A and B are shown apart, each in its own frame.
Chain A
Amino acid sequence: DAGVIQSPRHEVTEMGQEVTLRCKPISGHDYLFWYRQTMMRGLELLIYFNNNVPIDDSGMPEDRFSAKMPNASFSTLKIQPSEPRDSAVYFCASRAGISPLHFGNGTRLTVT
């Protein structure tokens, strides 16, 4: 079991650029979550999927953020255009049913 895999580990980009974060959940897990962590706001749930279908995106900050899950083994979180206030660590997590969440090691995004 390789765990939840996120890429890239670090991303530095300029304001206005498009950013795409990637996540491979644990095989067999039917729930996938995207969280964002900052010093000020802690860990915030952005969106989650069940069986590849977005269920709740009420945590997505604004229309600049979008997430997709084209299949059970891959999800993306896209920010377009990026802004400095989007700088944070973005975590992907997955789980099977009501079992505990398994988190990836995150993508540290810096927008200059």
Chain B
Amino acid sequence: DAKTTQPTSMDCAEGRAANLPCNHSTISGNEYVYWYRQIHSQGPQYIIHGLKNNETNEMASLIITEDRKSSTLILPHATLRDTAVYYCIVRANSGGSNYKLTFGKGTLLTVNP
């Protein structure tokens, strides 16, 4: 899996958009960008994933740059319950590595009232 780089921590005001960056400059053409988050005392939770096009679901939006070397997870209206560690992971969906999801340190997002 390609290595990712994320800031250690970020703050966001409640109700504002939270933009979480991730660098993955060594990403391969067949690797997807996945985002998970882990709220305190819970298991990681899947948020969203994408290959090259921007993606949106009920939880968040994922913006991937044209060269695919970086991406941004956007929580449009952050709430206190969005305080969590956010993990950016790149992984191929085929071949022998498709089983393995390797978690880094992630970004601790703190949403402040």
> Size class of A's contact patch?
20 to 34
Contact B99 A102 (CB under 8 A): no
B98 within 8 A of partner (CB):
yes
Asked if B76 is at the interface of the complex by the 8 Å CB criterion, the answer is no
Query: How many interface residues does chain B have, given as a range?
Result: 10 to 19
Cβ proximity bits B87-113 to A, threshold 8 Å, 1 near / 0 not: 000000110001111111100000000
Chain A residues closer than 8 Å to B43, beta-carbon distance = 4, 91, 93, 103-106
Of B43, B49, B100, B103, the most chain A CB neighbours within 10 A belong to B43
Q: Tell yes or no: B54 within 8 A of A by CB.
A: no
Q: Which residue in chain B gives the minimum CB-CB distance to A92? A: B43
B interface with A by C-beta (< 8 Å): 34, 36, 41-46, 49, 93-94, 98-105
Residues of chain A touching chain B, judged by Cβ–Cβ distance below 8 Å, are: 4, 31, 33, 42-43, 45, 48, 50, 55-56, 91, 93, 98, 100-106
Q: A-B pairs with the 6 shortest C-beta distances?
A: A103-B43, A100-B46, A43-B103, A98-B93, A103-B44, A91-B43
